[in-house]
Structure 1
Amino acid sequence: MRLVGVEEELLLVDPGTGTVKAVAGQVLAHRGNDALQAELQREQLEFATRPCTRLEELAKQIREGRTHLAQKARSVGAEAVALATSPLPADPTLTLTPRYRRMAEAFGLTAHEQLTCGCHIHVEVGSTDEGVAVIDRIRPWLAPLIALSGNSPFWRGRDSSYASYRYQAWGRWPTAGPTELFGSGAAYQSLVRALLATQTTLDEGMIYFDARLSHRYPTVEVRVADVCLYADDTVLLACLVRGLVETAARDWRAGRPPDPVPAPVLRLAAWRASRSGLAGRLLHPRSHTPAPAADVVRHLLRYVTPALRDLGDLDPAEELLSQLLCRGSGVQAQRAAYAERGSLTDVVLTAIDRTTSW
């Protein structure tokens, strides 16, 4: 059974006003924070689960990670909240490491404004060639994951009209977004070397493809999702991504070729998913023509059903997807909170409670 792990980035906010607080360094100064890591800005932190085989264990670790981060944030007078962007205006402050200083110098406003929180899902692969074969085959299925995770409608104090504005902001980095087919591990590594040789991307950690080979672990890392407001939605995403990886690996071993859909079409699919989330129409991963969002995500589940059944994950995946489609993702919760009182502070305070409620 393939190991799966999750990295979640959370905002650090003032518990009274909902504005972001630059207290990451204070949180990390406390002992017992081995699972916590600094990010680009001091108003956010990341935690990571350990690799898991069982979905139940992964769910437990996600909840424990959120609770642990929330407790540590409260110890310095802040709250941790699973929002992919700050609803309130924010002027982020850089984490002062040599690498982040270089990023700020090289990328200017792109780095300065990049206060976004994502969810990165790692799934084990057996080799570079298997990993690249997986990346080639899951490309059309990544846009629906953006729609499922949409949790960033507000940007710099206003409604962006997007379900995931984080994905738009993240797309400013020069290597971000969908990729063309690679065809082999050697071709993938050759492209990475060529990108690094331009001296535009600072290091391999800045290869920000929507799905990439991790430079630290023997995994495929899927990077398209917003951090989810609800922990259950993170579990669903991890379940679906592992199902996609297993399905793609089986297709590769069986000699079934990947869909040759061009990257510009995939970019349009990702844009549409970022724009409307589950509320509109997505590009169907098979036909690449518009279809109702609910139909597309249900087709995604059907596509990975054989793999999920073999992994023992089908029943929880069906239940979690039904739950998400019924209540909506974080974007619906944020807009509902704003509609009730017209207060972006209330949006954040409501989200604080939902970050650690299950």
Structure 2
Amino acid sequence: MRTVGVEEELLLVDPETGEPQALSAAVLARAARDDPSEETFEKELHTQQLEFATAPQADMTQLGAEIVRCRKEAARVAGDIGATVVALATSPLPVSPSVSMNARYQWMVEEFGLPAQEQLVCGCHIHVSVESDDEGAAVLDRIRPWLSVLTALSTNSPFWQGKDSVYSSYRSRVWMRWPMAGPTELFGSADAYHRRIDDMVATGVLKDRGMVYYDARIAERYPTVEIRVSDVCLEASTATLLATLTRGLVETAAREWRAGTAPAAHPVELLRLAAWRAARSGLEEDLLHPLTMRPAPAGDVVRALLEHVGPALDDSGDTDPVHKAATDLLRDGNGARVQREILERTGSLGDVVRECVRRTQT
């Protein structure tokens, strides 16, 4: 059974006003004081963020419990210094981001300017184990058309600097300012993958290989592929659904590779349009169908994903919980819809954040 690990980036906010707070250093210091061996939490580019990483899990119920535990522990530590955490991919309220005191991050701001300075966005990165870089490259080639569906499921960033962006995932649009981000052409082999990374680093635009921000990549530090297209999800249950579907995609792709099934040859231009459509529409309107790259209702596209990974879900015992979670999400809406409904009901972006704080920790 492939193991899965989840990295989530959370916003640090004032529990009363909902405004982002530049307190990551204090939170990390508090966590280290409580437990010097604590390695769950890390700093991110901006001081208004806190990142955690789960331990790898083979059982998705256990992974879901680990996500909930990490979120609650983050809230506890932040609460000790008068803040709290919220799983929002952008701040609904206006914010002036501040960059962490870190040589790497300072270099990024000096090199890239405003796009780096303004990049206060929170994503969810999902690591799925692979047996080798050869398998990893084959997986990357075969999951490309389906990644936009994961974005649509996760959308949780409709607001930007106090205004409705009209997008369901504005985070993903902000993220695409990076010149090394986005979908990729086919690699064909692990050697070709690594040559392309080497060529990118050789341009001097990137500081190192860790700055290759592909939608999906072979991880540098772990024997995994890392899928990076999702907003941080408002509900832990949605993050668990995304992780389970991602494992299903990786397993399905690996089986196709071993069977000699060629990857779909969609050009990167269409993949970029599919990603844009998912960010714009979320689950509320049509998406581009991964098989045809033509518009189709979001529900039909999600069901196509479930069918595509069906055998892998059956073999891991995840079919029933995934189908229920997907059905519930299509019916009730994801974070983007929830945020807009709260604003429509209350008229207050502060209320949006406060309600989302509650949902983050349940």
Secondary structure of 1:121's counterpart equals strand
Aligned equivalent of 1:29: 29
Amino acid at match of 1:274: A
Question: 1:44 & 1:351 partners in 2: Cα distance?
Answer: 16
From 74, 77, 87, give the equivalent of 2:79: 74
Of 103, 107, 111, 1:106 maps to: 111
The answer as to 2:235 corresponding to 1:233 is no
Q: Which residue among 198, 222, 229 is the counterpart of 1:224?
A: 229
Whether 1:285 aligns to 2:290 is yes
3-state SS, counterpart of residue 181 of structure 2: coil
Counterpart AA for 1:271: W
- Tell me how far apart the structure 2 counterparts of residues 137 and 123 of structure 1 sit (CA, whole Å): 14
For residue 116 of structure 1, the aligned residue among 113, 121, 126 is 121
CA distance in 2 between partners of 1:73 and 1:294 (Å):
38
Give distance in 2, aligned partners of 1:204 and 1:189.
10
Q: TM-score, normalised by structure 1?
A: 0.99
Q: Superposition pairs for residues 287-302 of structure 1, below 5 Å?
A: 287-302=292-307
Q: Secondary structure at the residue paired with 1:278?
A: coil
After TM superposition, give the deviation of residue 316 of structure 1 in Å.
1.1
Q: Please identify, of 235-244 and 340-349, the stretch whose mean Cα deviation from structure 2 is larger.
A: 340-349
User: Per-residue deviation at 1:203?
Assistant: 1.3
Distance in 1 (alpha carbons) for counterparts of 2:271 and 2:359: 32
Give me the whole-angstrom Cα distance separating, in 1, the residues matched to 2:76 and 2:140. 37
Q: Give the alignment's Cα RMSD to 1 decimal.
A: 0.6
Amino acid at match of 2:72: T
Shift of 1:312: 1.1
- Shift of residue 137, structure 1, vs aligned partner: 0.2
Aligned AA (2:253):
A
Instruction: In structure 1, list runs of 5 or more residues that go unmatched.
Output: none
**Distance between the aligned counterparts of 1:61 and 1:7, measured in 2?**
11
> Is 2:351 the partner of 1:346?
yes
- Which whole-Å deviations, capped at 9, do the CAs of 1:171-199 have from their partners, x for residues lacking one? 00111100000000000000000000011
Whether 2:16 is the aligned partner of 1:16: answer yes
Q: After TM superposition, which residue ranges in structure 1, 4 or more long, deviate above 2 angstroms? A: none
Distance in structure 1 (CA, Å) of the matches to 2:334 and 2:350: 19
Give the count of matched residue pairs. Answer: 357
- Cα distance in 1, alignment partners of residues 141 and 212 from structure 2: 16
**Does residue 157 in structure 1 map to residue 162 in structure 2?**
yes
Map Cα deviations across residues 202-257 of structure 1 (whole Å, 9 max, x no partner).
Answer: 11111000000111101000000000000000000000000000000000000000
Q: Which amino acid aligns with 2:68?
A: R
Q: Structure 2 CA distance, aligned partners of 1:143 and 1:109?
A: 26
Separation in 1 of the partners of 2:210 and 2:121? 17
How many angstroms apart in 1 are the aligned matches of 2:97 and 2:214? 24
After superposition, give the CA deviation of every residue in 1:83-116 in whole Å (9 maximum; x if it has no partner).
Answer: 0000011101110011111111111101100000
- Look up the match of 1:304: 309
Of the candidates 92, 104, 114, which is equivalent to residue 97 of structure 2?
92
Q: Secondary structure at the match of 2:287?
A: strand
Distance in 2 separating the partners of 1:162 and 1:96? 31
Provide, for residues 250-288 of structure 1, a one-character-per-residue CA deviation record: whole Å limited to 9, x for no partner: 000000000000001000000000001000000000111
1:135 aligned onto 2:140: yes
Q: TM-score, normalised by structure 2?
A: 0.98
- Aligned: 1:170 with 2:175: yes
Match of 2:321?
316
Q: Which amino acid aligns with 2:187?
A: F
Q: Could you say which residue in structure 1 is the equivalent of 2:149?
A: 144
Deviation for aligned residue 1:309: 0.5
1:247 aligned to which of 240, 252, 266: 252
**Partner of residue 206 from structure 1, selected from 195, 208, 211:** 211
In the alignment, what sits opposite 1:42? Answer: 47
State the alpha-carbon separation in 2 of the partners of residues 178 and 17 from structure 1. 37
Q: Which amino acid aligns with 1:253?
A: R
| Partner AA of 2:142 in structure 1 | R
Note the C-alpha offset of 1:342: 1.4
Alignment partner of 2:262 out of 244, 257, 265: 257
Deviation at 1:323, TM superposition (A): 1.4
Quote the residue 1:196 is aligned against. 201
Aligned residue number for residue 6 of structure 2: 6
Name the structure 2 match of 1:126: 131
State the Cα distance separating 1:34 from its structure 2 match.
1.9
Q: Distance in 1 between matches of 2:318 and 2:8?
A: 21
What SS does structure 2 have at the residue aligned with 1:280? coil
Unaligned runs of 5+ in 2: none
What SS class does the counterpart of residue 10 from structure 1 fall into? strand
